[in-house]
């Protein structure tokens, strides 16, 4: 998997939520293929710095920008900064997301609002900021990060599952809207991945969760990143409006 095979070398990417977990793996995978990557983060400055330092030590082009994706004006400004530096955005990966799990009767309004504002409104905000630049050039790729929760649901995840269902519906709608402008829009739907974000879910579910996964193990962030890489690459040049599940067969059990 080289930059020549994928067609990504020398191109420009924006990745939201790129300071840790799946987002960090995506940043590292794209940068390793020769892309110039700017990732957005909102809270953990130390982690963001580690990602940038590690990438630059390896001779890769990675920059971090603190951006709250819930703020539409901040998203526009951040995208413009990338355009000023690189003149284009070839790839957008909408990965930023949060979890606030609880049973429906125990959910607070803020738990619902926070999840929807980040996972759905943030998706709209960044995509709306990037889309005019892609349509002007009649070229671009967008990959959204959904979740197996969008199709399976999950106890205590009504807000999260609803948000990821919206991500997949948005993906299909925008694929239709932007396709005539030669912009491909797809999504990946990870299952249970070994990250800090999923730690509580994995600990609560225990061995029962593994029994529901056909491959009988949790996924790795890098495995999701490989799927994003494929959908972003020229190898997927005739793929749009698709949700690629990276779940070890979890949705089949």
The one catalytic residue among 41, 160, 218, 238: 160
Of residues 150, 160, 159, the one with CA closest to residue 198: 160
Spell out the residues 6+ positions from residue 176 whose beta carbon is closer than 8 angstroms to its own.
Answer: 241
Residue 85 CA to residue 95 CA, distance in Å, equals: 22
Separate counts of helices (H) and strands (E) for the chain: 11, 7
Residue 237 is inside which H or E element, if any?
Answer: none
Q: Residues 64, 39: contact at Cβ < 8 Å?
A: yes
What DSSP character marks residue 9? T
Residue 206 CA to residue 213 CA, distance in Å, equals: 12
Residue 114 CA to residue 145 CA, distance in Å, equals: 17
Rounded to 5 degrees, what are φ and ψ at 94?
-90, 95
Residue 160 falls in the annotated catalytic set: yes
Question: Which residues are the active-site residues?
Answer: 160
């Amino acid at each position: 998997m080289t930059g020549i095979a994928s067609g990504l070398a020398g191109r420009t990417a924006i990745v939201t939520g790129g300071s840790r977990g799946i987002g960090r793996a995506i940043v590292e995978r794209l940068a390793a293929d020769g892309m110039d990557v700017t990732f957005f983060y909102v809270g953990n400055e130390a982690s963001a710095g580690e990602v940038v330092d590690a990438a630059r030590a390896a001779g890769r082009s990675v920059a971090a920008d603190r951006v709250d994706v819930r703020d539409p004006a901040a998203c526009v400004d951040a995208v413009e900064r990338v355009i000023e530096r690189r003149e284009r955005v070839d790839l957008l990966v909408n990965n930023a997301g949060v979890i606030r799990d609880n049973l429906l009767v125990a959910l607070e309004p803020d738990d619902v609002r926070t999840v929807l504002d980040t996972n759905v409104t943030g998706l709209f905000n960044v995509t709306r900021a990037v889309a005019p630049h892609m349509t002007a050039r009649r070229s671009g790729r967008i990959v959204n990060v959904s979740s197996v929760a969008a199709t399976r649901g999950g106890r205590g995840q009504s807000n999260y599952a609803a948000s990821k269902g919206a991500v997949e519906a948005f993906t299909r709608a925008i694929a239709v809207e932007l396709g005539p402008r030669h912009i491909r829009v797809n999504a990946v739907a990870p299952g249970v991945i070994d990250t800090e974000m999923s730690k509580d879910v994995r600990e609560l579910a225990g061995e029962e969760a593994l029994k529901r996964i056909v491959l009988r193990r949790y996924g790795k962030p890098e495995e999701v990143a490989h799927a994003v890489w494929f959908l972003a690459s020229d190898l997927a040049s005739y793929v749009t409006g698709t949700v690629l599940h990276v779940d070890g067969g979890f949705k089949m059990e």
